[in-house]
Amino acid sequence: MTVTRGMLVLFLMVVIGVAIVVTREESARAANRIHKLHGEQTAIEQRLWKLETDMARLRGPEEIRRRAMLMGLRVVPPAARTGAAADGRAH
Amino acid sequence: MRKRRSLRNAQVITVLVMAAFLGLIGRLVFISTHDGEALLSRANRQHRSVIPIRSRRGKIADSRGFIFATTVLRRSVFADPKIIPDKQEAARRVAAILGLDAVELGDDLVAAGDRRFFVIQRGVTEAQAGRIRQSGIHGLGVFDEPARSYPMNGIAASIIGFVSPDGVGVTGLERQCDEWLRGENGHKTIIRDAGRKAFWLADHGYRPSRDGLHLILTLDAEIQAIVEHELLSAVGEYDAESGFAIAMQPKTGAILAMVNVPGFDPGRYRDYDPERYRNRTITDPFEPGSTFKPVIAAAALAENVVRLDEVIDCEGGLWIVGTRRLHDHHPYGKLSFVDVLVKSSNIGMAKIGTRLGKERLYAYVKQFGFGEKTGIDLQAEDRGILRPLDRWDDYSVTSVPMGQEIAVTAVQLVRAFCVFANGGMLVQPHVLRAVLAADGRIVNDFSNPPPVGRAISEEIAETIKNKILLRVVSSGNSRAKLSNYQVFGKTGTAQIPKRGGGGYERDAYVGSFVGGAPARNPQVMVLVSVRRPDRSLGYYGGTVAAPAARRILARTLAYLQIPPDDPPASVNAAQATRPVD
């Protein structure tokens, strides 16, 4: 075996080693990014769930009635507004 | 010569390199065969962490998608007591941030010993979580966990139920449908560097969570709120112990509202007496009193033991049968069969019961679904009390037609009245409408279950509704009457039996009204029962329950935009059904 051949073998081994390191580094970077994205996804989900709950609370009939009263509005069923006795007044 | 030396040097280097590699390979073989497993598991313990990915519990929503129950992420503070260097000092600092008792927290941390996970407080604010992180106290952390939220607070609480702090259904639909709602947790396995920083997702280390299924109910949050509001008013006005009410679609058996007063807030269930968790409309049978009379009237007409225009002697208010004395609330002489029901004569009904006889009476009571569970899709339903025929005595044929010697649940009674509203069919009461996957796909469709069977003929049902129940409400000064809808129904006032038998409690009543509207094409059937009202304020069903039922019907029909039967001349139907803007 000549020195040149020996050097070539060493060089190839170094190249393969570097390639492995670079691949591993890329994989690690990607895994880290996935991990971070999961974290972000959780944070966004948390906000989404909270907003969804807030909206459900605001859409609730009792909450609508309460806010209407605070604003000085009367929530009246449509038939009652037309003069029919849908407000339940008995004969 | 020089060339040969150079060649030898190269050979020596190559041999050395090869020897080094062989040495390394040998060492590798030695490690992996000798204590490789132990080292691998130690490395895994040091570098790998399995992080659970929590599934989201399914939502529970009404028929229009308004949410009764959902899940939010709650921020909580935990400690790893094993690695906290000074527990008392840590407790002092944490308590100051979270507003806790420092001494108590310190004792708890000491008592936790070597536990690796101890929850200090659940549901902390964002600001508190930030301050905990900045404090830099070793062994302390913040984590997120799913928590159940009930955005409409107490609305429909006894049907929805609640979950324990660890997310398991305890009562109501939360418990009954736990398997559908809970979903399946996932996990991810990450590899950490020496600084415990995650830098690698392990091979096959990711399994996503599967969110729970959503429940869509037949309840309508708006109608539920209306019924709750009106029932609460009635219970308050008559200083009653409790009350319950149901609104149902008579043709499908879909429950629009189901209310128990007093109720509770499922988000703070620990603050309430567990007695309030029960859905008493299906668990607590009661004597129906006069509300039971239309059932017997239908049986009598079906068996031709009485004619509508037949006159019945009501004995001036006192009838002695054997050793038993029967009374009417008001003394009546001769009444037509229709008036026996309109005026709710006990004596008149007792006579009709006698004509029917035990066997036929029992058969029709069963045919209307009494004495058996309705099969409603809610747990803990009671079958009521209907004694077997061989345990009926000679007086049973006079007691049962008055709504005594029998106990029914609210859902049984309202379903029996649906028979008169839908042409004689015994419908299947139901609360579940559908089960949806997280992506909105329908997994199970429970809407429109087939009817259980026919209770009476269409003709008899129409007769009872139009000739009797309509007159009960339209004649006299019934408090269930509406000016623009024809309401049909029946009141009832029953005494509460003593626990363990032996007669009735003194001055303890259940006042009820069951009815529906519009009579022409019934869309809603309502039952209201007020239990143990203050007698000095009123206790008759017509006084304590009928006004609440009237207000419920009025508001519900307006909300559902049902055209009035007879709109005032100045108002046309289009105006009367104009939606709220």
Q: Is residue B39 part of a domain?
A: no
Band (pLDDT 50/70/90 cuts) for residue B571 is: very low
CA distance B449 to B453: 12
How far apart (Å, rounded) are the C-alpha atoms in residues B511 and B523?
A: 24
Domain boundary residue among B121, B145, B169?
A: B145
- Indicate yes or no: CB of B152 within 8 angstroms of CB of A89: no
Which residues of chain A does B203 touch, with a Cβ-Cβ cutoff of 8 Å?
none
User: Contact B488/B472 with Cβ under 8 angstroms?
Assistant: yes
The helix, strand and coil proportions of chain A, stated in percent and rounded to the nearest 5, come to 80, 0, 20
Mean of the pLDDT values across residues B255-284?
Answer: 96
Average pLDDT over residues B527-553: 96
Before B518, cis peptide (omega within 30)?
A: yes
Query: Is A46 inside any structural domain?
Result: yes
**pLDDT tens digits, residue range B31-65?**
888 888 888 888 877 788 887 888 889 999 999 99
Q: Would you state the pLDDT for residue B276?
A: 96
Q: Does B73 touch chain A (CB under 8 A)?
A: yes
Same domain, B180 and B314: no
- Kindly state whether residue A83 falls inside one of the protein's structural domains: no
Residue B43, token pair as written in the block: 């490395």
Say whether both B268 and B164 belong to one domain.
no
pLDDT at A47: 87
Are residues B312 and B403 part of one domain?
yes
Q: How many domains would you assign to chain A? A: 1
Please say which residue of B95, B118, B145 terminates a domain. Answer: B145
Range of the domain at B131: 75-145
- Average pLDDT in the B24-35 region? 85
Beta strand pairing status for B524-531 and B255-261? unpaired
Under DSSP, is residue B545 helix (H, G, I), strand (E, B) or coil? coil
Please tell me whether residues B164 and B268 are part of one structural domain: no
Please state whether beta strands B324-327 and B214-217 pair in parallel, antiparallel, or not at all (unpaired): unpaired
Q: What CATH code is carried by the domain that includes residue B348?
A: 3.40.710.10
Return the beta strands (E) in B483-544 as ranges: 488-497, 504-517, 524-531
Of A1, A35, A52, the CB nearest to B14: A1
Mark whether B97 and B160 lie in a shared domain. Answer: no
Residue A1 has pLDDT above 80, yes or no: no
By the CB < 8 Å criterion, does B110 face chain A? no
Pair B328, B477 in one domain: yes
Q: In this complex, which of A46, A53, A60 lies closest to B155 when CB atoms are compared?
A: A60
Could you tell me if B402 and B316 lie in one domain?
A: yes
Q: Is A63 part of a structural domain of the chain?
A: yes
Does A64 fall in a domain? yes
pLDDT exceeds 70 at position B532: yes
Residue A84 lies in a domain: no
* Residue A63 lies in domain: 23-75
Residue located via tokens 């966990």: B145
Residue B581 has what pLDDT?
28
Q: Are B279 and B260 in contact (CB under 8 A)?
A: yes
Statement to judge: residues B443 and B523 lie in one domain: yes
What is the C-alpha to C-alpha distance for residues B326 and B319, in angstroms, rounded to an integer?
Answer: 5
Q: Which of B212, B243, B262 lies at the terminal end of a domain, its last residue?
A: B212
* Beta-bridge partners for B188: B51, B206
B422 and B562 fall within a common domain: yes
Question: 3-class SS at B118?
Answer: strand
Q: Find the chain A residues whose C-beta atoms sit closer than 8 A to any C-beta of B.
A: 1-3, 6, 10, 27-28, 31-32, 34-35, 38, 42, 45-46, 49-50, 52-54, 56-57, 59-63, 65, 75, 77-91
b/e map B100-133, b = 16+ CB within 10 Å: bebeebbebbeebeeeeebebbeebeeebbebbe
Of B122, B87, B129, B80, which is closest to residue B105 (Cα–Cα)?
Answer: B87
Total of domains in chain B: 3
| Distance in angstroms between the alpha carbons of the first and the last residue of chain B | 108
What is the model's pLDDT at position B487?
A: 96
Instruction: Examine the pLDDT at B11 and tell me if it is beyond 70.
Output: yes
Q: Is residue A87 part of a domain?
A: no
Beta carbons of B70 and A85 less than 8 Å apart = no
Q: Are residues B231 and B321 in the same domain?
A: yes
Distance from C-alpha of B561 to C-alpha of B384, rounded to nearest angstrom: 35
CATH code for the domain in which residue B198 is found = 3.90.1310.10
* Whether residue B533 sits in one domain with residue B407: yes
B310 and B197 belong to one structural domain:
no
CA distances to A7, B33, B49 from B28, rounded to whole Å, are: 26, 8, 26
For B297-354, the pLDDT digits (tens) are: 999 999 999 999 999 999 999 999 888 999 998 999 999 999 999 999 999 999 999 9
**Is B10 within a domain?**
no
Amino acid B358: pLDDT: 96
Segment B414-458, tens digit of pLDDT = 999 999 999 999 999 999 999 999 889 999 999 989 999 999 999
